[in-house]
Amino acid sequence: MNKYLFAILFSVACTGAWAQVSNQARPALTKIPTDSLSYLNPKDYIIGGITVSGTKYLEKDVLITISKLNKGDKITLPGDASANVIKALWEQGLFDDVQLNITRMNLDTVYFDIAIVERPRLSRLHLTGPRKGEIEDLQKKLNDKVGKIVNENLLNTVTTISKREFNDKGFLNTTVTITQRKDPADANSVILDVAIDKKQKVKINSVTFEGNKAFNQNTLRGYMGKTKERKWYHIFGSKKFMRDKYEEDKQDFIAKLQSKGYRDAEILSDSVWRNDDKTVNVKIKMYEGPKYYFGNITFSGNTKYPAAALSSILRIKKGNVFSEENLTKRLSGPTSSGDDISTLYLNDGYLTYQADPVQTRIYNDTVDIDIRMYEGPQYTINRVSVKGNDVTNDKVIIRELQTLPGQKFSKEAIVRSQRDITQLGNFDEQKTEPKPTNINPADGTVDIVYNVVEKPSDQIELSGGFGGGQLVGTLGLTFNNFSLRNLFNLSAYKPLPKGDGQKLSLRGQSNGQDYQNYSFTFSEPWLGGKKPIYFGLTAYTQLSSNISAYSQSDPNYYHLRINGVGVTLGQRLRWPDNLFQLNYSLNVDHYNLFNYPGYLFKNGTSYNIKLTQELSRNSTDAPIYPTTGSNLKFTIQATPPYSAFNGVNYLIATPQQRYQFVEYHKWKFEGQWFQKIYGKLVLKGQAQFGFMGYYNKEVGQAPFERFKLGGDGMQSYQFLQGSEIIGLRGYQNFSVVPVGSNYNENNNPGSPVFSKYMLELRHPVIASESATIFLLTFAEGGNVWNNFSEYSPFNVRRSVGVGARIFLPIFGLLGLDYGYGFDAIPGIPGANKGQFHFSISQSLNGGFN
């Protein structure tokens, strides 16, 4: 009786165990013929074969491998082995159903079929919620999920990536909802509808520190440059919490503390928690440690320069606050620095120079340093090449280089060469990279490769604007990399021949009959191709009249015709340094006036033959967004003193005789300075001065070439060649007149003396090959005077304002400013009190408007 009871209980237990394994593995049990298998009497069988059914995408051999069933192996049926097959396959997460079926049995041989139902695959992601550009960016990061099995892991991955994409941008409350729908084009595929709600960006309510003793809370907050509290006075830097910026800030935070002498400083822990739905709080627990100071500093391994000379460059003395950052800068400073030890060696050919500062002793609060020098051999340049210039010819770049084969390797020469390449305007300055290659210590030679990336440099100006109460249209084309020698080579047209670094500009303005202006300029920076001799040629013609209102026979009809040509020759100087340029220009202007208002005479013909000498020096680091350097220009312009030899009695001369040949001398100074003051914030300072004098008191001031001040600084069509336009934001165009004078639009020939000063804070928004955008705020002042005896340089009309600049390679510089002038202009009540100014196609740092 006990034997029978034991058999029944054993059979029930085995059946329960088999059911439990099958339920865990889900789905159906193994189909076993009940007439040949018994749980009370399991038997061993030889596996005769395994097949797989139901597959669509998966490899059958792979599934058999996962099942661990092998032809010829023994298997006990019923038993755990068959249940384990289902469990192993189900754990892959690839199936909606798995069955292990016995297809036939032959004596002691069994044949299996693994029947599966594959889970659907992802055919497409449909993202909704964010802006189009944000969706496109996220889509790129999720594209590799298409075609994958749709399971919990895939859904979690899509959710995580989507949230992280917007969490990193400050949207910490982003929610992601995913729904599945069948793809009508594929029965075993689904489309995932991913609905993303970014919510609002989360800002930082508070940033606090724990464990600080030497530093107060405000000082430490200042070290978190990209993690700012939500305060009204935080103008620059985001107040939104961004995880990646926060992680960067933590590293910079410790580096800042260590630069103050706290070499043991570290962050013990930090936490970020929700303050409310719109803000978070940040808390950092820190350890300051003691403050350290430099002890004895010694040099070893130096043979080229004595320790005393190296110490004078290092400029760190015993007792100074210990700072590894400062020590590193003095040993191997930034690329453009010239006051560190690495520059001393690298400028003298020691390319493989290394300096390893070793902390040899730490006692109390003092750290002794031994700077172990490896000078290496002195290197000579073997070959110089350029890569990446698909349009510009090699010679255009190579002739600008300061590094030539046979010269000693020089860091200073490489930096200067890199600057000169970017000044060409044909390459992305962010991607211009000189690289020493083929460094050969055996013979002390090195090759230098300048890697460049071409950028669009041609510009088109297509604009319309109001001038003199009329709508004026402008079409301008500027080709900054023109090739005159390929003018008749049709295969070189793209759309014009390019690659030789020449500049061709064609510009036309018109409002119909009343105003027409056409100009042509061509320049070659290397005349003859062997020396940096600048050659420029310009020609222009302008007609301004009221022909649309009056016929030429009407007494109210007037016109002004200006024709001119000019030629310029210039050369780079070697003294005082090779950043100086000296240019000479000869221009001839022909004026024909008929009843034309605005000058000192209305009728007649006048000639302006002028010789100009211009001395300039440009040391700015970039042409588009300068951050350091200066741009200075001193100009002398003069005409022959006709009154000294033409025999005209100017006491009784008519205006036609007095101004038939214009005579004057003109002096100008223009200067800009750029300095990075914090992060990417750049301060631009500018000063301008102009004075126009005469040779003969009886002749007086010339009617042309005077200065007109006020407005956006763009060349107004009415006075394109007649006067020199100086911008002063916050005031109407040309509205600034000498103190005590009233503005008269119809009789404003300009003034012979002017001064202008300006300070401008600039901060970039985008700086890339395709576009440069920066915001600015400015304060400026300027004024004009009738003669030098009245000149008072600090009696100026003042203004402040804000603006933005957008530089697109194809259009040049687009500018929008709002300025508020503080000083009223007699005769024009609304000349100040707030003015919008728009500018187009002006240079970024070469112009002084």
The pLDDT tens digits of the residues spanning 425-465 come to 889 888 899 999 999 999 999 999 999 999 887 877 776 65
- Helix-strand-coil split of the chain, %, nearest 5: 20, 40, 40
CA distance 90 to 67: 10
- Residue range 121-197, CATH number: 3.10.20.310
The pLDDT tens digits of the residues spanning 310-329 come to 999 999 999 999 999 999 99
Angstrom distances, CA of residue 164 to CA of 138, 203, 337 = 10, 17, 39
Q: What is the DSSP letter of 789?
A: G
Question: Looking at residues 15-38, what average pLDDT do you find?
Answer: 44
- Residue range 380-451, CATH number: 3.10.20.310
Question: Looking at residues 277-293, what average pLDDT do you find?
Answer: 93
Q: Is 190 helix (H, G, I), strand (E, B) or coil?
A: strand
Count Cα atoms within 13 angstroms, Cβ side, for 110: 25
Q: What residues have CB less than 8 Å from 58, skipping those under 6 apart? A: 94, 116, 118
The pLDDT tens digits of the residues spanning 483-504 come to 999 988 888 887 789 999 999 9
The pLDDT tens digits of the residues spanning 652-709 come to 898 888 999 999 999 999 999 999 998 789 999 999 999 999 999 999 999 889 998 9
**pLDDT grade for 768, boundaries at 50, 70 and 90:** confident
CA distance 328 to 333: 7
**pLDDT grade for 346, boundaries at 50, 70 and 90:** very high
**Higher-confidence residue: 277 or 390?**
390
Q: pLDDT exceeding 70 applies to what percent of the chain?
A: 89
CA distance 186 to 121: 10
Q: What angle do CA 567, 571, 572 make, to 5 degrees?
A: 145
Q: Supply the pLDDT for residue 166.
A: 86
Q: Looking at the predicted structure, is the pLDDT value of residue 174 above 60?
A: yes
Question: Looking at residues 835-841, what average pLDDT do you find?
Answer: 77
Looking at the structure, give the CATH architecture of the domain made up of residues 293-374: Roll (3.10)
Q: Looking at the predicted structure, is the pLDDT value of residue 156 above 70?
A: yes
H/E stretch holding 273 reads strand 266-274
Give the relative orientation of helices 80-90 and 2-25 as an angle to the nearest 10 degrees.
Answer: 20
Q: Supply the pLDDT for residue 21.
A: 37
CATH class of segment(s) 203-287: alpha beta
Average pLDDT over the chain reads: 85
Provide the residue ranges of all domains of the chain, joining segments of one domain with +: 2-118, 121-197, 203-287, 293-374, 380-451, 461-842
**pLDDT grade for 30, boundaries at 50, 70 and 90:** very low
Same fold yes or no, 293-374 and 380-451: yes
Residue 198's nearest CA partner among 177, 229, 228, 227 is 177
State yes or no: cis peptide before 306, omega within 30 of 0: no
Q: Looking at the predicted structure, is the pLDDT value of residue 734 above 80?
A: yes
Question: If 0-12 CB within 10 Å is exposed, 13-18 middle and 19+ buried, where does residue 373 land?
Answer: buried
Q: Which fold has domain 461-842?
A: Porin (2.40.160)
Q: Looking at the predicted structure, is the pLDDT value of residue 100 above 70?
A: yes
DSSP secondary structure of 356-371? EEEEEEEETTEEEEEE
The pLDDT tens digits of the residues spanning 367-386 come to 999 999 999 999 999 999 99
CA distance 487 to 759: 45
- The CATH superfamily of 2-118 is membrane protein fhac (3.10.20.310)
Q: Looking at the predicted structure, is the pLDDT value of residue 545 above 60?
A: yes
Angstrom distances, CA of residue 77 to CA of 11, 47, 48, 52 = 14, 11, 14, 20
Q: Looking at the predicted structure, is the pLDDT value of residue 731 above 50?
A: yes
**Higher-confidence residue: 473 or 161?**
161
